[in-house]
Structure 1
């Protein structure tokens, strides 16, 4: 790797990755971006597991949806950056609140957080997470993104489908007044999803945190004030 100075008068050094046969061009660009990303550096300095932690931090600083004593579920929680931020804000260290993180991948332990290696779409997942929380959830968070294909329309459809699955899960476990936070992409066909959210929550916002990369089309949908009524039991 080599480093070069930025604009005139700047003392910041930009790291460049030397070309090598061992790395594809896209991998070289990704590594170079990581090495020069201030949020990646900041995350390492603060002991956070991902730069994504700052996205949650920024959104909560603005909208104050994380509160002491809450019960929260983090869908697709690996590597655990969102759980780390949420743990501080609900007060796990002070014995307040409860957080359950679920992911297909194993996640290294996080003090106070209950981690489950499981597909959140498994039939048993809603009941299991409600049991582990000790009751209904005050919030369901999802920073999940589907594997990309490179075809923009296909990728948008996949991320919307994932967010819709997360919302269906949230409908099973959210307490009245709870919140739902999920990743989307700008330009995706999200009208149906947003319609469901506006019906079931009092306030729905699209949020683009500063920690999202400038060249990324990602945004988040934050729905607060859950008000969906439970389905009426079928009459004989």
Structure 2
């Protein structure tokens, strides 16, 4: 007679640690607030950032245009920053509609050019060939005055690509600035946030962040605010855990030394924030 071990899925008893964790979750006011909040924050830490910003007002300045969130997963702090900079879910829907509108414009312009070309070649085929070779004197005259001064009647290439029109003004995103979220873990999309799943210490991440940060005169590749809520995985060995935390602090400090704008560059006393 063979005996099979009890399967955990068939057991109705929970370990004491799981019961204790569930009890803390049910009693935690931030957990209940997170579930009922309209923004539907992904982590309780979002309320910590909201309290800090309410006290110090470091995200409410017009010159805050670029924010880097290190160790961003699951994305609670990035959600707060996106909301502070005006990004909403409607911006994602609006940008999709804007892309569709541009595609329709390009298709319409292409069809017009195609019809015009077909009519032009059809008329040319019906004409009888003229005697002689080469161009006539009046045909040798350039239609435009020079290469650098096109005719006013020439089509605008920007308009032909569909990047124009009054109807697009109302569909532009309401948010501003650049928000970059970096983490080794995957992050689900957040409106207005560019996510990078990589190690922020790697050269690849350094190149990506440099390219994504909005280029501004004199501050290319730098951020106005750098956030970090990272913590090393605990091993139970106190010495090892402290050492891992210090390594993260040193790495973030070195990253900030290269990527953060100084107060002198911003032009105000509390400009350039590391949190």
Q: TM-score, normalised by structure 2?
A: 0.54
Contact 1:91 1:97 in 2 (8 A): no
How big is each residue's C-alpha offset from its partner over 1:147-186, in whole Å with a ceiling of 9 and x where there is no partner?
01223343232222112211111222112229xxxxxxxx
Structure with higher strand content: 1
Alignment gaps of 5+ in structure 1: 1-19, 179-201, 204-223, 228-236
Distance in 1, matches of 2:186 and 2:229, equals: 16
Alignment gaps of 5+ in structure 2: 1-10, 89-173, 215-219
1:29 has 2:115 as partner: no
Aligned with residue 132 of structure 1, among 212, 215, 227: 212
Contact 1:73 1:99 in 2 (8 A): yes
Listed as ranges, the matches of 1:40-189 within 5 Å are: 40-46=31-37, 47-67=40-60, 68=62, 69-93=64-88, 94-134=174-214, 135=220, 136-177=222-263
Quickly say closer, same or farther: Cα 1:151–1:28, change in 2 above 3 A.
farther
How big is each residue's C-alpha offset from its partner over 1:55-99, in whole Å with a ceiling of 9 and x where there is no partner?
111111111111344200000111110001111112334231110
Structure with higher helix content: 2
Distance in 2, matches of 1:98 and 1:41, equals: 31
Aligned residues, how many?
Answer: 165
Quickly say closer, same or farther: Cα 1:40–1:131, change in 2 above 3 A.
same
Q: 1:105 aligns to what SS in structure 2? A: coil
1:195 aligns with none
Q: TM-score, normalised by structure 1?
A: 0.63
Distance in 1, matches of 2:48 and 2:234, equals: 21
Distance in 2, matches of 1:21 and 1:122, equals: 46
Higher RCO (C-alpha 8 Å, min separation 6)? 2
